[in-house]
Structure 1
Amino acid sequence: MTDRNGKDATLHQRILGDIEGKIVSGEWPPGHRLPFEVDLADQYDCSRMTVNKVMTQLAKAGLIERRKKSGSFVKQPQAQSAVLEIHDIEAEVKSLNLPYSFQVTRRSVRTASAEDVRRFEVQSGTKLLDIVCTHFAGPRQFCVEERLINLENVPEAGEADFKEVSPGRWLLSQVPWSTAEHRIQAVAASAEMAALLGVARGTACLVVERRTWSGLGPITQVRFTYPGDTHALVARFTPASQ
């Protein structure tokens, strides 16, 4: 016969698994309020102390936020990417234990404008693939990718459909790069960007711009825009040599 401690331990794992599953699957999205502890105790026919231990474990894991007098809420996960690395959006999302997907929202081939010549260091008239993608973490928009690919140096990009593999991941697997440059800034979401990200106009966003070169010359110029509360940048470095 199972004693009370054994029953509580089993229920602890069951409750923990049930709640984790609903959060990770997106059934309970960020901001969703969890049932109150007393209600969960009634639902699982267990002590409130067992439920409290589950909530404490979920909070320590960064999955929920406990607010005094308000209850427990699914926490918006925060991703980190290294400043000095070429990061992959899919890997960032999966590091949060959330399902990843992306959608191409715009694609066209055009010639380089004067602004492209200035920012991308390509020749006037260079053919560019102009592509915009929205990346998702679970049901929520994770970031928007605005990318130019130099078709003079990467002509095969013009034939890629980017239905199964995102442009960034495709480039990392197809084109070796030799030099990259990052530029980071904070901006307020425009009306168009707010619609793509599913946030209010004027929301603080983190923007990471990158230019990449190979031995052939400029390869790609990309701008990633993240809601400001979901992303952090980290850099690890050592003291300069004396």
Structure 2
Amino acid sequence: MADIGGRTQTLHQRILDDIEGNIVSGQWPPGHRIPFEVDLAAQYGCSRMTVNKVMTQLAKSGLIERRKKSGSFVTRPQAQSAVLEIADIEQEVRSLNLRYAFRLERRQVRSATQADLRALETKQAEDVLAVACIHFAGERPFCVEDRIINLAAVPGAAAEDFSKTPPGRWLLGEIPWSAAEHRIQATAATAEMAAMLGVAKGCPCLLIERRTWSDAGTITYVRLTYPGETHSLVARFTPASR
């Protein structure tokens, strides 16, 4: 009986690892129908009860959704960002138990335009570094980052190619910021944004605009665009003193 129990536990972990691996790797994307329990039991040569326990565990962890009479489906994970914090996008992705990656789309050092000066809310910038990249959760685009860095405040950024380290993480590690401002709004994906996010044109998106400052002036202005159905914002606060 002990041997049987040990074998059952091993099968349970094997099935769990296999399904989690398919989900986390992106091989089974959100909405994918997972094989029926009876089919998984036949595949692994175990009882349906063993498979049912695995599916229950996956549902509790939020990786799958069980629908009566329809089967089990990979859920669309929803990330949460703290409104009053500057979050690391990689940490947001890894909190979903998904593999993180990013891809640099463009990088350009240029003379600051009037639009750049308005975005940075400064008149001091002469040159800026414009950077755009796509962050991925598994195989799917997680968000698009479109950033302007004030080289008068962060001259060292001009020497960084940002092909291996995302600009947001680099800035957090290189220069202390003293103030930040968030502006949050809903927007519809343009044709270019839709192509980068892998969604339909006009798809509802969540746009976070952020400026950060240091004693040297405005550090950066960034636009982070997320597919609306996969992201939410959380704010924690206490009552203002009277």
TM-score by length of 1: 0.94
Structure 1's unaligned 5+ residue stretches are: none
Deviation at 1:27, TM superposition (A): 2.4
Q: What do the CA deviations read for 1:158-193 (whole angstroms, capped 9, x no partner)? A: 110112110000000001100000000011111000
Deviation at 1:126, TM superposition (A): 2.1
Deviation at 1:4, TM superposition (A): 5.0
Contact 2:124-2:152 at 8 Å conserved across structures: no
Contact 1:128-1:148 at 8 Å conserved across structures: yes
Q: What do the CA deviations read for 1:118-139 (whole angstroms, capped 9, x no partner)? A: 2321227721111100001111
Hey, what does 1:201 align to over in structure 2?
201
Equivalent-residue separation in structure 2 for 1:88 and 1:230 (angstroms)? 17
Which range moves more in the overlay, 131-140 or 68-77? 68-77
Equivalent-residue separation in structure 1 for 2:142 and 2:197 (angstroms)? 7
State the SS of the aligned residue for 2:98.
coil
Hey, what does 1:19 align to over in structure 2?
19
Q: What do the CA deviations read for 1:97-155 (whole angstroms, capped 9, x no partner)? A: 21111111011122222222223212277211111000011111000000000011111
Hey, what does 2:76 align to over in structure 1?
76
Structure-to-structure mapping, 1:66-215, within 5 angstroms = 66-123=66-123, 126-215=126-215
Hey, what does 1:41 align to over in structure 2?
41
Corresponding residue pairs, total: 242
Equivalent-residue separation in structure 2 for 1:3 and 1:215 (angstroms)? 67
RMSD: 1.6
Contact 2:125-2:150 at 8 Å conserved across structures: no
State the SS of the aligned residue for 1:152.
coil
Identity %: 69
Equivalent-residue separation in structure 2 for 1:214 and 1:235 (angstroms)? 24
Equivalent-residue separation in structure 2 for 1:169 and 1:124 (angstroms)? 24
Equivalent-residue separation in structure 1 for 2:64 and 2:42 (angstroms)? 21
Contact 1:114-1:124 at 8 Å conserved across structures: no
Contact 1:112-1:128 at 8 Å conserved across structures: yes
Structure-to-structure mapping, 1:46-61, within 5 angstroms = 46-61=46-61
Deviation at 1:51, TM superposition (A): 1.2
What is the identity, as a one-letter code, of the residue corresponding to 2:160?
Answer: A
Equivalent-residue separation in structure 2 for 1:174 and 1:117 (angstroms)? 22
TM-score by length of 2: 0.94
State the SS of the aligned residue for 2:34.
coil
